[in-house]
């Protein structure tokens, strides 16, 4: 088994995954995760469907299913292999390709690095926000938004400005606890090449300073900020967390509790975002003043 530290969580997986190389711990693990949580092939289990959803995975629109497969969960994605996830989210097994340690094909790697890891972390109370993130003067600033809304463009622009640094491009794991709401940026960013991954060079944990929900604006509108009340902020966090349609009822309840806490403790703003170069400069000035 291979052992990885992702978002400060140890996760074991039996296959070589190049995108996770910088997150691997000591290359190998003495013993196997299977010995810790014995794996029973899903074909021999009484499995029950938890959720069925569609989503963009591995370059295509695919059907995704989560099944209860005691003692853990089974994820099935159309066109790819099945993945078993242990009940605590610590072990992941590709059930269709054995446990020989060989690499996965491109489709299965994308499934693993996307919905499978998102679900595994959620089972451990770590939620994956659809967010880009930057650091400015020790302030971690998040931009929420679905693909195509410009959050990656905005983060990349700021990261090239003096005093700013990229923390996440598209997915950012977060938790709540005694330290408040914090982010765990050591996590692979699928849309960035391996040599451009920000996570390995960042601290394990970063406190979240402010969160901005991007709102499209007409080309020549001025950028603007509007504080979002906590009652609306809960809906924003619910709507911008990856993988929620895959969660079982118990995980959904825990996620709702997280969203409520985050809404009360982290300032959240609506950022009107005109997609033009001059608008990026004005947004930079607005954010620097706010931080």
Residue tagged 């269709």 (tokens): 96
Q: What is the pLDDT of residue 216?
A: 83
| Arithmetic mean of pLDDT, 31-59 | 69
pLDDT of residue 126: 98
Whether 196 and 217 have beta carbons less than 8 Å apart is answered as no
User: Domains of the chain by range and CATH?
Assistant: 2-122 (no CATH), 127-290 (3.90.228.20)
Residue-averaged pLDDT of the chain? 89
pTM: 0.91
Determine the pLDDT at residue 277: 82
pLDDT in tens, 70-125: 889 999 999 999 999 999 999 999 987 655 556 799 999 999 999 999 999 999 99
Name, in order, each residue with C-beta under 8 angstroms of 105's C-beta and a sequence gap of 6 or more.
none
- Give the mean model confidence (pLDDT) for residues 133-151: 90
Is 35 a residue whose pLDDT tops 50?
Answer: no
Helix, strand, coil proportions of the chain in percent (round to 5)? 30, 35, 35
What is the pLDDT averaged over residues 175-198?
92
Output the six-digit token pair for 180: 């408040």
Does 32 have pLDDT greater than 50? Answer: no
| The two three-digit tokens of residue 111, written as one number | 């499934």
User: What is the 3-class SS of 12-31, one letter each residue?
Assistant: EECCCCHHHHHHECCCCCCC
């Amino acid at each position: 088994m291979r052992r990885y530290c992702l978002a400060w969580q140890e996760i074991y997986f039996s296959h070589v995954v190049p995108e996770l190389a910088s997150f691997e711990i000591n290359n190998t693990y003495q013993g196997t995760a299977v010995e810790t949580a014995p794996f029973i092939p899903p074909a021999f289990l009484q499995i029950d469907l938890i959720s069925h959803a569609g989503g963009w995975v591995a370059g295509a629109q695919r059907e995704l299913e989560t099944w209860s497969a005691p003692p853990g969960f089974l994820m099935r994605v159309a066109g790819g292999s099945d993945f078993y996830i242990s009940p605590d989210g610590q072990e992941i097994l590709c059930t269709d390709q054995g446990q020989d340690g060989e690499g996965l094909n491109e489709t299965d790697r994308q499934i693993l690095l996307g919905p499978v890891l998102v679900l595994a972390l959620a089972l451990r109370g770590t939620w994956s926000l659809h967010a880009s993130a930057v650091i400015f003067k020790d302030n971690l600033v998040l931009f929420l938004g679905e693909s195509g809304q410009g959050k990656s463009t905005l983060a990349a622009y700021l990261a090239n400005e003096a005093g700013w640094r990229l923390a996440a491009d598209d997915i950012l794991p977060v938790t709540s606890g005694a330290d408040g709401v914090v982010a765990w940026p050591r996590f692979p960013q699928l849309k960035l090449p391996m040599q451009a991954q920000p996570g390995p060079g960042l601290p394990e944990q970063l406190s979240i300073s402010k969160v901005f929900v991007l709102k499209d604006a007409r080309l020549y509108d001025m950028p603007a900020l509007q504080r979002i009340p906590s009652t609306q902020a809960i809906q924003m966090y619910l709507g911008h967390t990856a993988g929620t349609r895959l969660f079982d009822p118990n995980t959904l309840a825990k996620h709702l509790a997280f969203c409520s806490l985050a809404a009360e403790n982290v300032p959240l703003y609506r950022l009107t975002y005109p997609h033009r170069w001059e608008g990026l400069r004005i947004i930079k000035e607005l954010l620097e003043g706010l931080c």
